Structure 1
Amino acid sequence: MAAYGAATSLKNTIQRILQSSRISLVSHSPLILPPVYDQMDRLQRVLQLLDKTSCSKIRTEVNALDELIKEAVWEFEDLLESHLLPQILPQLESERHNLSFSVDLQSLQHHVDCFVEMVKMMEEEYIIGIKNMPEEEGEPISSRIDFGGIKSKMVGLSYEFQKAGDDLLEDKHYSIVGMAGVGKTTLAKHIFEDPSIQSHFDFRIWVKVGRKYEHNELLCCVLAQVAPIAYRMLAQGDNDDEELVGLLKEKLQDKKCLIVLDDVWEEQATYHLTNCLQENDMVGRIRYLLTSRQYIIFEDHGYERMRLLNEEESKKLLGEKVFGQKVFSEDGFPLPLEELGEKIAKKCEGLPLMIVTVAELLSKADKTPEYWTEVLKQHSSVFVEAYNQISEYLSLRCNGELPPSISNLFHLQFLVIDPHMFIRKRGVQSYMPVQIWDMQELEHLYIWGMDLPTPNTVDATLNKLTILGGVSANSCTREVLKRIPNLKELMIEVELKPYDDDDDERNPLSCLGYISQLQNLEKLRYRVKNPEIKYKGNTIPLSMFPSSLKVLWLSGLGGYPWNYLNDIGSLLPNLEILLLERYAFRGPEWEITPESFLKLIELQIGDTDLVRWRPQRGSFPNLRRLRMSHCYKLQQLDWPYDHSWIEIIDLLECNPLAVACAKELKDKFSFRLIIESSF
């Protein structure tokens, strides 16, 4: 939605004119621009209606309208600035340059009236366009499972290729994460086709997930590749998950299987599939390779965030895409284009999608020194078009501060900042540039090791931001959080200071009371990276947990007593998934009080000194899965008879006494018991 960013830019320009201490508006000029500012406010509210529509809607016509609105707003802003400059420049050159500038805007009145009316008409057309957006059809199974072969050679990914392959061969899952077009799918395809992978796995399955999918579609995609005849027979009638899973269990029994899930947009896609295939005789034989634009929580997995290309790799990729792999590998750039080609590749700044996009445009034009020289100029149409194509999503790995100019990427919706190393000077906190608040299109922001600064204007907000990850408690102030009111997912990373004995600094949950004002928050992840396993009598600020939460992940809190968790459960009526890791809570016994965690579906507890888990009658009435991992002191699982509906108990590296207890319970209740143990 480029129009939203254009409206923000125009509002900022108008605000600077009206509030500047050095601009004196003569006569009736102060009354000219406020109607435009108000109209931009109304326009932005209309543009935000698109966010409330399903991502499965086809937005082609609405996006075209958005482009027209953007051009109209930019044209008016250019007109406004061109009207100011001729009045200000002569005064700058005079001796009165230290005084305020007199500016007359009255001649703009007609232009303002026409512009406001035109925007109103465009608003109405935009609203009609949103109402009439057609529904996108889901991809057919044949398209989802079409591997498509390897169409291009990997450039500069030999280390990543080797690392991913080694992890999969060592029976680990693996995730490839990065921006659109960075080469995730290409890397996954090369791994999929590697001879060592082919010989290790009995079945290799490729599934393109995407944004729009149905849960049983993914199961059908797997079955269609494992047992195509059975799938075709099944596809002729209605089928449910239970029937699909039963067939898959039969076909995959005693077989090693690699499942590639390409282009995963949300955790639920992996959760449903892995949950269906969680059986003792299958869990150790199925391995998953994921590609995604964001980090997906996955048990026991390797992980690689795709890096940018260096200059040599960039040059090679550009040349191969423009001239063809065979020609370029033999001859390189033609001599007259060699230096220009290196400069063009360097200008792409290591972004593979930018290199590929620029190469695509170059390959369609004259391959002459004159044309390539034009391409290198600052406002070259080739780079402008390429930036427009890639500016939705950006992932960077860097050290040091980001330049304020990053806010010039008005279209940016997904921004990931990942430092090379987490090395921080004592007493120094790293912040994003304050211009981050001008990036009105941002929806997902991951900034590991950095924080959001307090904005310096009253009306600065990021209304479209729904995911914020990697920040510390410094981003959880009242001033910051009230400006991201639509946040749905918040991931906080805390690093305790070893040199500070202040009680508030040592309490990992201090300063978090303002999170509760995020009334739309559904997922909260809070992780202390270097936990101090020592309870000092600190209390948990219960106000940090908004009642809207559905997923809560706490790690490394230092060992709060289990009774605090009961208090949290009573405040979260909508909580469905609870993950507790690395001594989030501590103590030999957790007695869960009645009427606690009424909607909880899944509970995971890892790395704790828990000895006895005691849910009371009336607690966890909807619990379907319990997973305990690395609970070496766990001995007893008490089980009230009203908990007979649980579906899965998963014990990973737990005390043999707990395993024996679970086996006794399995004889009384019909649940699946998954045991992974080296004991």
Structure 2
Amino acid sequence: MAAYAAFISLKSTIHHFLKYYDICLTLPSLKMLQLLYNQVESFEQFLNTSDSSSRKRMDDRFHQIAMAMDQFEDILLIYKLEPSERAQSGGEIDGFLDLDHVKQAFDAITASMQELQAEHAVVSPRDSSGKLVGLFDQYNQLKERIFLCRFVISIVGMAGNGKTTLAEEILCDFDIVEMFESRAWVAVGSTYDRRDVLLLILAQVDPDACAMIGAEEGDREISKYLERSLEGKRFLIVFDDVWDVDFWYNLEYLLPNNGDGSKVVLTTRSRELGDGAEAVFDMRLLSEEESWDLLRHKVFGEEDCPSELVKAGKKIAEYCDGLPLTIVAVSGLLSEADRTLKFWNEVAARKRHWLFLAAYDGMLEVLYPSYWSLSLQLRRCFLYMGVFPQDYKIPRSKIINLWIAEEGLLDPITDQYGQQFLFGMIGLEEFNLLRNTPEQVLDLENYAVEYLEDLASKTLVMVHQKSTTRAVIRRSWAQGIKTCGLHSSWWHLCHREATKRNVFYILTSLEDGVGEDIKGQTTLSIHQNVLFGIKDVYESMVENCASSARSLLCFGPYHQYQVPVCFELRSLQHLDALNIRFYKFPLAATELVELRYLALTCNGKVPPSISKLQKLKFLIIHQHFNIKFRGVSSYLPMEIWDMKDLRYMRIMGSDLPSGDSVLPNLSKLLHVSSHSCTKSVFEGLPNLRKLGIQIELTPFGAEPPTYFDHISLLDGLESLKCVVVNPDFTPKLIPQPSLPNFPSHLEKLTLTGLGCSWEEMSKIASLQKLAVLKLRSNAFRGPKWDFKEHRFVKLEYLLIEDCDLEKLEIGDESFDDLQYMCMKHCYKLKEIRVESELAISNIEIVDCNTLAEKQIKKAMLRCNRLIHNFSVHSSWMKS
């Protein structure tokens, strides 16, 4: 329908001007634009909810309003021109003088709509059909995207989240039917025949032509029939449930694309396939309210839900985690079960109720194809994620470190199908030597990152929090996963498969700890840490798993009181007890000589006997509530230098003592104190890539800081984070630090609370590989930073947070590749001057002076450039 397309186009144009040109408009013009935008939204809603008879009665009116909107868009386009060009086009300097005429047309159509709405009860056909409940915002957004995209759009989402249902509803939508003369639906699946796909399309757009196709005619001939049948017609083809990443590549050249507004829609579970389309539409999960609406609709239909069941019903719907497939499965079982308050309360009381488990079992047929499509290695990594509790938000670093520590789970010497191809050639000893070299350690992490992002791109792993920083460096669709997890349905599948294959064993109750199933288990995942305090469970672990257990992972709720962790599992290779507090370092842990991974929360010193753990690769020590007495240093023992296999150390505020040895494999050293920044320490870390320093300023200190004096010795360092934990910028304290010549390979630099002078920025600008720069909590101080004096060759991400800047000047050659700039809590910032056409696509301003926002917009307009994503967040403004 032409009118609907006109609405969408105008809505997009007005939104664009409100976002980027508001500072250049007069207040009356701004108010007029906002009023028109609101009316367009109202008209669009009416279009989406009115029936066909109402629309036909409005055809003449819609034609009138479409003409008025075209005129209005012409005015906006004239206004975007430079003044000289605007004069040549005959436009006024204030392009909004003629808006009264457009508003009159809107007022007339509004009155007509109100009359029709009074005559006809407006009910969405999607509600009455029961096919689509909730996701109406996505329904409308998808319609807009289809009208606005060039040719191909993909709908991406996890299994069972309503992609097919949404696409079916869109295909039958009134506006879609009016706009596209020919429509076709093809269910593709994991296996397909290209000839059959073409025939299915032809059978729907031209049955007579399809009947003429002979068995000997191939793809090219059928393609010609399609081209003739669709000539002069605008078509929409939906390819549902596409699995093959090359599907569209293999089909695109066989379908006509004459630029006449025809569209192709793909639905897929794979983001990798979606990225091949011109536009990607991400399906979200249902909200709690939408989940309850769907569950209530499925259980009770047109009847009202008894009031006494509403509270329990909403809790049950919440437990479905927004996945329509789960809600439908659960509601089906609820419909067949006893509809009493007692039973519904039982189901609502716990997420592991048998009804949920039965629902998950019923969904396996839909979920398993995604699981079996994974390579062998990806399958193993995916199953391992099930060791975490249901709904657990997994930090990216944690899952990657555990994957790396698990011998054989990741191997750098593998091909893409997970087959070791050198092991048989060079033998076990040589293979192990090779996989422990620093270069292979880096490969292990790269493999782990790629596997995690691959699982997320296939929508098996949910991304809870994203890191824009990693997106800049890696160009990842997931924008650099920060925290992730499994949907409950996938967690159930992992648990089921892991139990079947003895991959891991979960302990959540007394029964789990003393039952027969615990015998001979290799990986024990404790989801209730208090089980260690139960004598029967403790003894059962020792009796049944003393020789078999390789991993003991304690992921239950954090306990501030110590429980007797089972250190008698002598074959342990991985021990994660961060969620349990030890009053001091447990000496029994140093007897577990097979350990590769050790994570503890404890106060006190690490004993020299830790050097017994010669196979240890990951050492993570947290302090309980970060308790540390002033002036009391927490040193690691000198024996730490004897642990040559160490790859990763995170030791909260502890000091690494100076030694005369080398840790050849250590690539990451995090949260170490500034007292560790000595020449002998840095000389002993030849392959360090990532360093995190905690700096604690001493009161009344008169000497300048020395923690950067030897940083240049780390010539392979790629990431550096320096945090002053107690910054104080009073004049009587230490002078402003002078920055060193940083290692030349540095790609990421984070500075917090240093209080440096902006003149020191020249030493950072000289870093030829620096891509990410984060400046937090007055890392630099002073009212003015003149970028014109510095040139950042490779910088792509810049964060400035909590500083006293008042003026920022960016010169013609300040940045070559800046993609993302974020300003946070810069309350004094009043002026931003830009003298170049920045190739920047994202600017984010959070809780800054409102003048900064206007300055950025003006700068971009002067450069005749629009920012792809400009966002402003102000906590003092209404949401």
* TM-score between the two structures when normalised by the length of structure 1: 0.50
Task: Give the aligned partner of residue 208 of structure 2.
Answer: none
Query: What's the CA shift for 1:469?
Result: 1.0
In structure 2, relative to structure 1, the CA distance for the partners of 1:528 and 1:661 (3 Å cut) is same
Query: What's the CA shift for 1:463?
Result: 1.4
Task: Give the aligned partner of residue 604 of structure 2.
Answer: 400
Query: What's the CA shift for 1:542?
Result: 3.5
Task: Give the aligned partner of residue 720 of structure 2.
Answer: 524
Task: Give the aligned partner of residue 628 of structure 1.
Answer: 823
Instruction: Pick from 320, 341, 364 the counterpart of residue 540 of structure 2.
Output: 341
Distance (whole Å) between structure 2 residues aligned to residue 275 and residue 336 of structure 1 = 48
Task: Give the aligned partner of residue 445 of structure 1.
Answer: 649
Instruction: Pick from 675, 684, 699 the counterpart of residue 474 of structure 1.
Output: 675
Query: What's the CA shift for 1:533?
Result: 2.9
On the 8 A contact 2:571/2:592 being kept in 1, the answer is no
In structure 2, relative to structure 1, the CA distance for the partners of 1:145 and 1:560 (3 Å cut) is same
Q: Does 1:648 align with 2:842?
A: yes
Task: Give the aligned partner of residue 551 of structure 2.
Answer: 353
Query: What's the CA shift for 1:394?
Result: 1.8
Q: Deviations over 1:555-580 (max 9, x none)?
A: 011x322122124323x222221110
Instruction: Pick from 804, 827, 835 the counterpart of residue 609 of structure 1.
Output: 804
In structure 2, relative to structure 1, the CA distance for the partners of 1:463 and 1:425 (3 Å cut) is same
Query: What's the CA shift for 1:514?
Result: 0.8
Q: Does 1:512 align with 2:708?
A: yes
Percent of aligned pairs sharing the same letter: 28
Q: Deviations over 1:365-402 (max 9, x none)?
A: xxxxxxxxxxx998x98569999997322211111112
Distance (whole Å) between structure 2 residues aligned to residue 342 and residue 217 of structure 1 = 32
Distance (whole Å) between structure 1 residues aligned to residue 567 and residue 452 of structure 2 = 49
Q: Does 1:426 align with 2:630?
A: yes
- Note the 1:229-240 alignment, pairs <5 A: none
Amino acid at match of 1:633: K
Instruction: Pick from 757, 770, 776 the counterpart of residue 575 of structure 1.
Output: 770
Task: Give the aligned partner of residue 543 of structure 1.
Answer: 740
Amino acid at match of 1:408: K
Distance (whole Å) between structure 1 residues aligned to residue 604 and residue 509 of structure 2 = 23
- Note the 1:253-272 alignment, pairs <5 A: 259-260=463-464, 268=470, 272=474
Task: Give the aligned partner of residue 753 of structure 2.
Answer: 556
Structure with more contact order per residue of length (Cα contacts < 8 Å, sep ≥ 6): 1
On the 8 A contact 2:381/2:403 being kept in 1, the answer is no
Gaps of 5+ in 1: 1-137, 165-172, 185-208, 227-256, 279-286, 293-311, 357-375
Secondary structure at the counterpart of residue 729 of structure 2? coil
Task: Give the aligned partner of residue 638 of structure 1.
Answer: 833
Task: Give the aligned partner of residue 494 of structure 1.
Answer: 695
- Note the 1:103-182 alignment, pairs <5 A: 154=389, 177=398, 180=402
Task: Give the aligned partner of residue 95 of structure 1.
Answer: none
In structure 2, relative to structure 1, the CA distance for the partners of 1:675 and 1:174 (3 Å cut) is farther
Distance (whole Å) between structure 2 residues aligned to residue 665 and residue 183 of structure 1 = 50
Distance (whole Å) between structure 2 residues aligned to residue 618 and residue 152 of structure 1 = 51
Secondary structure at the counterpart of residue 640 of structure 2? helix
Task: Give the aligned partner of residue 677 of structure 1.
Answer: 874
Q: Deviations over 1:239-294 (max 9, x none)?
A: xxxxxxxxxxxxxxxxxx962589x9x9737975778779xxxxxxxx973369xx
Instruction: Pick from 603, 612, 619 the counterpart of residue 415 of structure 1.
Output: 619
Instruction: Pick from 500, 503, 516 the counterpart of residue 702 of structure 2.
Output: 503
Amino acid at match of 2:637: P
Distance (whole Å) between structure 2 residues aligned to residue 261 and residue 440 of structure 1 = 35
Task: Give the aligned partner of residue 659 of structure 1.
Answer: 853
Looking at CA atoms only, which structure, 1 or 2, has the larger radius of gyration?
Answer: 2
Amino acid at match of 1:465: L
Distance (whole Å) between structure 2 residues aligned to residue 516 and residue 140 of structure 1 = 43
Distance (whole Å) between structure 2 residues aligned to residue 601 and residue 616 of structure 1 = 16
Distance (whole Å) between structure 1 residues aligned to residue 666 and residue 728 of structure 2 = 33
Secondary structure at the counterpart of residue 658 of structure 1? helix
Distance (whole Å) between structure 2 residues aligned to residue 622 and residue 225 of structure 1 = 31
Q: Deviations over 1:346-383 (max 9, x none)?
A: 989xx992379xxxxxxxxxxxxxxxxxxx998x9856
Distance (whole Å) between structure 1 residues aligned to residue 448 and residue 849 of structure 2 = 40
Gaps of 5+ in 2: 1-372, 407-443, 487-506, 555-565, 576-590
On the 8 A contact 2:772/2:795 being kept in 1, the answer is yes
Query: What's the CA shift for 1:496?
Result: 2.0
Distance (whole Å) between structure 1 residues aligned to residue 871 and residue 573 of structure 2 = 55
Distance (whole Å) between structure 2 residues aligned to residue 216 and residue 381 of structure 1 = 31
On the 8 A contact 1:520/1:548 being kept in 2, the answer is yes
On the 8 A contact 2:736/2:757 being kept in 1, the answer is no
On the 8 A contact 2:453/2:478 being kept in 1, the answer is no
On the 8 A contact 2:666/2:685 being kept in 1, the answer is yes
On the 8 A contact 2:546/2:570 being kept in 1, the answer is no
- Note the 1:23-102 alignment, pairs <5 A: none
On the 8 A contact 1:594/1:618 being kept in 2, the answer is no
In structure 2, relative to structure 1, the CA distance for the partners of 1:637 and 1:315 (3 Å cut) is same
Q: Deviations over 1:483-535 (max 9, x none)?
A: 112211111011223xx31212xx5x434211111111111110001111345
On the 8 A contact 2:845/2:873 being kept in 1, the answer is yes
* TM-score between the two structures when normalised by the length of structure 2: 0.40
Secondary structure at the counterpart of residue 764 of structure 2? helix
On the 8 A contact 1:392/1:414 being kept in 2, the answer is yes
Amino acid at match of 1:416: I
Amino acid at match of 2:743: P
Q: Deviations over 1:320-366 (max 9, x none)?
A: 551699xxx9xx99x99877426569989xx992379xxxxxxxxxx
Q: Does 1:584 align with 2:779?
A: yes
CA RMSD of aligned residues (A): 5.0
In structure 2, relative to structure 1, the CA distance for the partners of 1:274 and 1:663 (3 Å cut) is farther
Task: Give the aligned partner of residue 231 of structure 1.
Answer: none
On the 8 A contact 1:580/1:606 being kept in 2, the answer is yes
Secondary structure at the counterpart of residue 180 of structure 1? helix
Distance (whole Å) between structure 2 residues aligned to residue 606 and residue 211 of structure 1 = 30
Query: What's the CA shift for 1:614?
Result: 0.5
Q: Deviations over 1:454-505 (max 9, x none)?
A: 22xx4x11111111111122101112111112211111011223xx31212x
Query: What's the CA shift for 1:441?
Result: 0.6
In structure 2, relative to structure 1, the CA distance for the partners of 1:147 and 1:486 (3 Å cut) is closer
Q: Which moved more, 1:665-674 or 1:530-539?
A: 530-539
Secondary structure at the counterpart of residue 746 of structure 2? coil
Secondary structure at the counterpart of residue 855 of structure 2? helix
Query: What's the CA shift for 1:221?
Result: 5.1
On the 8 A contact 2:603/2:627 being kept in 1, the answer is no
